[in-house]
Structure 1
Amino acid sequence: MSALWTAADAVAATGGTATQDWAAQGVSIDTRTLQPGDLFVALTDVRDGHDFVAQALEKGAAAALVTHVPEGVAPDAPLLIVADVLEALGAMGRAARVRTKAKVAAITGSVGKTSTKEMLRAVLERQGKCHAAEASYNNHWGVPLTLARMPADTDYAVIEIGMSNPGEITPLSQMAQPDVAMVTTVAAAHLASFDNLAGIAAEKACIMDGLKAGGIAVLNADIETSQILQDHARTLGVTQVLFGEEGPDWVVKDVRIKGDVTVIGASGGGEDYLFKLSVPGRHFAMNAVGVLAVAQALGADPLAASLDIAAWVPPAGRGTREVIVTDMANDGESLELLDDAFNANPTSLTASLEVLAASSPADNVGRIIKGRRVAILGDMLELGTSEIAMHREMVKNMHLQKLDLIHCAGPLMRHLWEALPEKQRGQWAQTAAELVPQVSRLVDAGDVVLVKGSKGSKVSLIVDAIRKLGHRRV
């Protein structure tokens, strides 16, 4: 097996100094997941990565990327010494991009970028050697880490690019040098750092700034800020491919949610498509059509992609649907859990509520007799000055009005809870942790239960508690 990085290659990329010759098969920033043969990158975040270099070497790291010889590490240990570890990682990411002939897609969006990245990975890996981050590595260290891990013989790469503040996307796009850039959607997320939705759209449009010559932008035509994206593409002279119900290049013609699947009718590139996803969700359907557009723009086969996309399932916490068997002795004694506990804003919450509203609870299997559509909602964070109104106004949502019971956690969600009609109002608590001991009373066999909130609301604690009510069956 050829090395991913040799000491000579890393020195050439970073301008650093190697204490000895070494060869690494991977790149790691965490000793807990480090594999023997990895290059350990001593980044500084909450902790200084230099404190873990000795441990990394003991676990079999091929070398460590550092600014100095750490305490407890021999001067002749395999090290690459640089002026700045993060800048050196970025240099390795750029070098990895230059040395590969891979076709690269970069994806951003307020909602759905990680799920869309995984959809695209699922279809491209059937058509060549595909590289993408295993997790949501989409920030100032995640993007260079993903690139630095990319083998030179990669055929396709999918790079997720996110942002929290203005000015973050352009340098990451320029580092990734994508052949195709995709914007899934623009929604009210990170509004605390932006004046309005138009500001978010302008920042998302910057994913096109790093496109290679002849690059293609795949843009959502349905959103109200689509024109901002299109204008940016036009300014850059980038070829645009528009997808959505408004098309016109890839048109979503029909979306039908049928139990656990979504059936999609679409057209693009002069062809008609009828395909399915193994998960319910109109928002997933829209992004799936965008994925076909990206596949075609990369030179892959969109027809094969439409067949292979059924194998994709959402990552944990992003709409995963599973069955929790609450009593193995009684046939049908179970509930369905929709785990969407990783992120939340009004747009993504609406999409999840639509899925829940279309679900079919089971009657006559629980203590309450009638199966219910139950939502357990945590705070939507980083929405800016209108956050209270955004929470309260969710009571008007047409899908939410079809639910049987809504429990809420967090000070912001209290505003929705107070606005709910009495028949829908369940429990409220200041924190998600306070609902955990009550979980057996919040839900019942026969229910379909959605748990959703921003990661910081910690509603994942409630997901874990529901799973512990029985036996998980995905």
Structure 2
Amino acid sequence: MSAVHALLRQWPSDPRDALPLALWDAASIEAATGGRASRAFQASGLEMDSRDVRPGDVFVALKGEAMDGHKFIPAAFAKGAVAALVDRPVDHPHVLVKDTTEALHALAHYARNRADAVRIGVTGSVGKTGVKEAIFASLDRSSRGAAHRSVRSYNNHVGVPLSLARLPARSKYGVFEMGMNHEGEIAPLSAHVRPHVALITTIAPAHIENLGSMEAIADEKSQIFTGLMPGGTAIVPADSDYTPRMITNARNMGVKVVTFGRSANADVRLIDAIPGANGGSLVTAQLGPGHGNARVCYSVAEPGEHWISNSLGVIAAVRAAGGDLGAAGLALAEMGGLKGRGARHNINVSGGTALLIDESYNANPTSMRATLKALGQTPALRRVAVLGTMGELGEFFERFHRQLAEPITDAQIDHLILVGEGMSDLAAELSKRHAKSLGFVPSFEHCATTKDAISVLGKFGLTNGDVVLVKGSNFMGLGALVTHYTKAAS
């Protein structure tokens, strides 16, 4: 026997090697759902939107109150679907089940149970998608591609089961985002995932119109702890007014609690943060007595103080999941902004280029303040902000919009474009400050729609060295303004 063959015989075995490479096949879907397959097949993916189907996918024909996915089966197969999950026979390869939604849940639980993966759940009022992506990048790097996560913002009663059903059998880690609009929505999502680690990023007045109070928001977010596996870890921000409440909620579940933040008693504690050359930060953190009070130092590519806090949560989650902190540091140093959540674009303007910061996907008072502060710290010849109405604020609507005047003036924004009827309260506050001439107040214009904002910004005229922040709740459609300028630059 050659030396090479001898070394190959010593290659360590991994039980995962015996697991299938295909995400799903006809037999495993039958086993998971109790359905009946019309023929044998293997699938590399699972999709519920016919527009997003890729070759090799199983198309799940979900039925809702207003739409029946069975109508889109021909379109799904035209895009390369190999089979469909249906509640009635169709003229295509399929698995017939009683109810496609229940079958999707069954696939999710089957996928969860067959994969020996550490599962991490992420929720919070602000930053959950970015933190989810950072945890995934950290674990994917250290596991050499054996990590999985929910894509986009698939964080609701359909997106979470779908993301879980996409978990490959050979995965070592799975990272799942969980969101809510109303009371009672987080617990069922956590019950699907059964995370080993559950993280709350922060508590802020997002969806306060539906929840009624900050205490209710903290309690609802804490419901992510109800699904934790025995011996699991709850990770809680240490610097929130609602930290004691979240810790109590977690301890009532009988799980370990880890805190992160600037607080002196945080388990993952910020020691120092130095501004980086490219807008990020160099962070030093202490890991607490459980790790000999060891310190870690790493770079965070994303700008803003909120990302310093986010990074501490990422470090806490990776450590709790048994991941590699060195890989986490590298991932945080390389992360770029996500579409609609901090992506940065250089756009062609008069005399050169301007920087456009895309925060168009969502907005609430806390995230508005954080991104406005980050804008104020961004080097620029002129700072411009296009701000859209914030939604789901209920009786706090007028107050929260008016209160944006302070972070806007603190950021020394040169020109402001306010979009939507809801911004009239902020416009009135800024007008009042102009009249009193108290300190710096930016020039501003108020318009009704994103289309109007594109026109107003065009007339204002961007020039070389400008920085433009675009931020608002998703229903305002400010992504169209980002697309308008980025397409023109490409």
1:281 maps to 2:301: no
Cα deviation for residue 30 of structure 1 reads: 1.9
Cα deviation for residue 305 of structure 1 reads: 1.4
- 1:358 aligned partner: 377
- 1:66 aligned partner: 86
- 1:251 aligned partner: 269
The 5 A counterparts of 1:411-422 are 411-420=421-430, 421-422=433-434
1:204 maps to 2:221: yes
Amino acid at match of 2:74: A
SS at match of 2:340: coil
For the 8 Å contact 1:43–1:49, the answer to whether it is kept is yes
- Name which of 71, 86, 94 aligns with 1:51: 71
Taking structure 1 as reference, are residues 414 and 86 closer, same or farther at Cα in structure 2, changes over 3 Å only?
A: same
- Name which of 452, 456, 461 aligns with 1:434: 452
Q: In 2, Cα distance between the equivalents of 1:210 and 1:471?
A: 46
SS at match of 1:317: coil
- Name which of 120, 123, 148 aligns with 2:165: 148
For the 8 Å contact 2:373–2:407, the answer to whether it is kept is no
The 5 A counterparts of 1:262-301 are 262-268=281-287, 269=291, 270-301=293-324
The 5 A counterparts of 1:28-427 are 28-45=47-64, 47-69=67-89, 73-74=90-91, 77-128=92-143, 129-246=146-263, 247-258=265-276, 259-268=278-287, 269=291, 270-326=293-349, 333-361=352-380, 371-397=381-407, 400=410, 402-420=412-430, 421-422=433-434, 423-427=441-445
SS at match of 1:402: coil
Cα deviation for residue 439 of structure 1 reads: 2.1
1:455 maps to 2:488: no
- What do the CA deviations read for 1:291-321 (whole angstroms, capped 9, x no partner)? 1111110111213311332111121110112
For the 8 Å contact 1:323–1:337, the answer to whether it is kept is yes
- 1:13 aligned partner: 32
For the 8 Å contact 2:372–2:411, the answer to whether it is kept is no
SS at match of 2:239: coil
Q: Normalization by structure 2: what TM-score?
A: 0.89
Larger proportion of helix? 2
Q: Normalization by structure 1: what TM-score?
A: 0.92
SS at match of 1:40: strand
Cα deviation for residue 220 of structure 1 reads: 0.5
Q: Which runs of 5+ in 1 are unaligned?
A: 362-370
Q: In 2, Cα distance between the equivalents of 1:260 and 1:58?
A: 46
SS at match of 2:203: coil
Q: What RMSD in Å do the two structures reach over aligned CA positions?
A: 1.7
Amino acid at match of 2:274: R
SS at match of 1:240: strand
Q: In 2, Cα distance between the equivalents of 1:419 and 1:81?
A: 59
Q: In 1, Cα distance between the equivalents of 2:39 and 2:330?
A: 49
Taking structure 1 as reference, are residues 67 and 385 closer, same or farther at Cα in structure 2, changes over 3 Å only?
A: same
Q: Which runs of 5+ in 2 are unaligned?
A: 1-19, 435-440
The percent of aligned pairs where both chains have the same amino acid is 38
- What do the CA deviations read for 1:134-156 (whole angstroms, capped 9, x no partner)? 21100001011111111111011
For the 8 Å contact 1:357–1:399, the answer to whether it is kept is no
Q: In 2, Cα distance between the equivalents of 1:115 and 1:49?
A: 30
- What do the CA deviations read for 1:381-437 (whole angstroms, capped 9, x no partner)? 011111111101211237645222211001111111221144513111112221112
Which segment is superposed worse, 140-149 or 275-284? Answer: 275-284
For the 8 Å contact 1:109–1:186, the answer to whether it is kept is yes
For the 8 Å contact 1:354–1:399, the answer to whether it is kept is no
Cα deviation for residue 17 of structure 1 reads: 2.3
Q: In 2, Cα distance between the equivalents of 1:116 and 1:344?
A: 16
Paired residues in the alignment total: 453
Which segment is superposed worse, 105-114 or 402-411? Answer: 402-411
Q: In 2, Cα distance between the equivalents of 1:206 and 1:443?
A: 48
SS at match of 2:49: coil
Q: In 2, Cα distance between the equivalents of 1:44 and 1:93?
A: 17
For the 8 Å contact 1:191–1:197, the answer to whether it is kept is yes
Amino acid at match of 2:209: A
Amino acid at match of 1:132: R
- 2:11 aligned partner: none
Amino acid at match of 1:395: A
SS at match of 2:295: strand
Which segment is superposed worse, 127-136 or 38-47? Answer: 38-47
Q: In 2, Cα distance between the equivalents of 1:447 and 1:117?
A: 31
Q: In 1, Cα distance between the equivalents of 2:427 and 2:411?
A: 13
Q: In 2, Cα distance between the equivalents of 1:232 and 1:85?
A: 34
